[in-house]
Structure formats: C-alpha cells, structure tokens
Amino acid sequence: MPHRPAFDPSAPPTNAAVAAHYDVLDPFYRDIWGEHVHHGLWVTGRETVAEATEQMSRRMLEALSLTPGTRVADIGCGYGGTARLAANAYGAHVIGLTLSEAQKRFADRQTVSRGSVEVLVRDWKDAAFEPSSFDAILALESLEHFHDKADFARMARTALRPGGRLVVTTWLAAENASRWSRRHLLDAVSREGSAARLVSEREIRALFAAAGFNEILVEDLSPQVRRTWSLILGRFAGRLLTRPSYWSFLLKSQARDRVFALTIWRILLAYRMGVFRYGYFVWE
C-alpha cells in the first residue's frame, strides 16, 4: 500500500480536500445515507436510518425556535436535507453553505413548499455576511472540518442577531483518549475524512463561551447515535455483494478517498472503546 503521511494536527484541512472528499464519494454517500449524510438519532431503537437521520435534523430545528420568515444559516448543509425541513416545516428562509459542487447540484434540483432554500458553494469563513444577518444558525456535523473553531465561533456570534440561537452537533474526542486511540482511531478518522483534529466537549464549551455565547444545553448523544455505524457497515457490506461499482472504486489505486471504507470500522471501534463522542450544543 502507498505510504500515508502522519496526521499533522496543526495543519488545517484545505477546502479543496474537503470538497474533493464529498464530490468523489457523492454517489456512495447518497446511495447508503440518502439526502441526510450525518448520524441518526435513535429514540425508540426501531427507527430506520432515514427516520433516525431526519429525527436528528428535526431535533436541531426544534431547538432553534423557528417561525415563518426566520432567517437561518445552515453551515455545511450537505445535500440540503435539513435546510428543506426548516423551510417546509417552519417557513424559514435558509442559506446553506457547502464546499461540494456535487452536493449543490443535488440540492438545486429539489423544491420546497414553504419558505426558501438557497445553497451556496462557499466557505463559512469567506462568506462575509453582514452582522446580525441571521436569526438562527445550525452546524450539523460540519464543525469538525474547521481547524480554527474559535474563529468559527466568533463569526457565528457576529452573524447572529442578539437573542438568536446557534445549534451544533459535532464529532468529539473523549477527554481520556489514550495515545494509541488518538493515533490509530481519532487522528486516522480525521485524516481520512478531511477533518481537523477532534477536540473534547470541554474545549468546545470554552471556545464558544469566550466568543460571547450563553450556553443553553449540552448533551452527549453518543449512546443514541452510535448505532448509525453498525447499520451503515451492514449496508456497505450488502452493496459490495450486489454493486460492482463499489468494488471498482475500492480497487482503483488512484482513488484516495476509498480509504473511507476503513474509516467506517475505525469509527465503530472508537465508539465501542468510548473514545469517540457525539456532542449536541445549543447556545444563545
């Protein structure tokens, strides 16, 4: 196998690397996950993946206290599934930001019955929105791609109107992660997923407090979301048995992002070892 460089926690993932990751894996993500490419939230334990992922989106939107006409920024909106829920269910006007052209193409083909959704291929730190542009901001599993999380928090504080809410779900590292689990699981997941180094809940809370946010709610949802990866692994195995395109991609030596097949195993193991956590944050 080709040599892979060690993960450098001081080097942020480039926009080009993040965009390429999602563009290259676009057909596989949509085939396995659907329009919501994020963890599912299991409440009864009987939900399908599609029901659980939508349930996660709905939980975030409920925390934003949306009303008709609410201006929302969806940072790292993916295929726009959560943005469309915000528009259809609440009549919100949503601007979604993604780095992936493939995700924007899919989102632009979809319609909403209320409100509006506009998806931009733009980096949050370069978006240059006016102060108090939004009534609410959400970031569903996008914060892990940001190396400078303090800058993310400061920009969100500026773009959000006084009294507005910010809801974030993000991958986290456990406080007690060992050197072995950090190197072979957490840092490997970050490298393979074009993410920044995973930080702890304590670090996230301190950064957003320093940016001027008041903490409303913090939860560790790991027990309710980790089932995502065993189900995704099962789907992936099934596709290998029935879809030749999966084997063609995995055997293509030039396909850098084929390593994400291994990442599924890493995340599943990291959850079982208790070193990979899933944080849910609400700030005002």
Average of per-residue pLDDT across 188-196 = 90
Give per-residue pLDDT as tens, 19-66: 888 888 888 888 888 899 999 999 998 999 999 999 999 999 999 999
Which has the higher per-residue pLDDT, 11 or 98?
A: 98
pLDDT above 60: residue 3: no
Average of per-residue pLDDT across 108-132 = 95
For 15-283, CATH number? 3.40.50.150
Question: Cβ neighbours of residue 252 under 8 Å, at least 6 residues apart?
Answer: 258
Helix (H, G, I), strand (E, B), or coil: what is residue 219?
strand
pLDDT above 80: residue 121: yes
**Where does residue 217 rank: exposed (0-12), middle (13-18), buried (19+ CB within 10 A)?**
exposed
% of the chain exceeding 70 in pLDDT: 94
pLDDT above 80: residue 217: yes
Helix (H, G, I), strand (E, B), or coil: what is residue 16?
helix
β-strand 276-283 against 215-220: which pairing, if any?
antiparallel
pLDDT value at residue 10: 55
> Residues for the chain: how many in total?
284
Q: Strand runs (DSSP E) across the chain, as ranges?
A: 71-75, 93-98, 116-121, 134-140, 160-173, 215-220, 276-283
pLDDT above 90: residue 183: yes
**pTM exceeds 0.85:** yes
pLDDT above 50: residue 2: no
CA 270 to chain centre: 17
**Where does residue 29 rank: exposed (0-12), middle (13-18), buried (19+ CB within 10 A)?**
buried
pLDDT above 70: residue 255: no
For the chain, the maximum distance between any two Cα atoms, rounded to a whole number of angstroms, is 54
Average of per-residue pLDDT across 247-266 = 74
pLDDT above 50: residue 4: no
Which has the higher per-residue pLDDT, 13 or 12?
A: 13
Which has the higher per-residue pLDDT, 128 or 103?
A: 103
pLDDT value at residue 91: 98
Confidence of residue 6 (pLDDT cuts 50, 70, 90): low
Cα–Cα distance between 168 and 205 in angstroms, integer?
11
At 76, which amino acid appears?
G
Mean pLDDT for the chain overall: 91
Give per-residue pLDDT as tens, 162-182: 999 999 999 999 998 999 999
Write 264-270 long-range contacts (CB < 8 A, 24+).
264/229, 264/232, 264/233, 264/236, 265/233, 266/184, 266/185, 266/188, 266/189, 266/192, 267/189, 267/229, 268/226, 268/229, 268/230, 268/233, 269/185, 270/181, 270/185, 270/186, 270/189
Confidence of residue 11 (pLDDT cuts 50, 70, 90): low
Average of per-residue pLDDT across 191-195 = 87
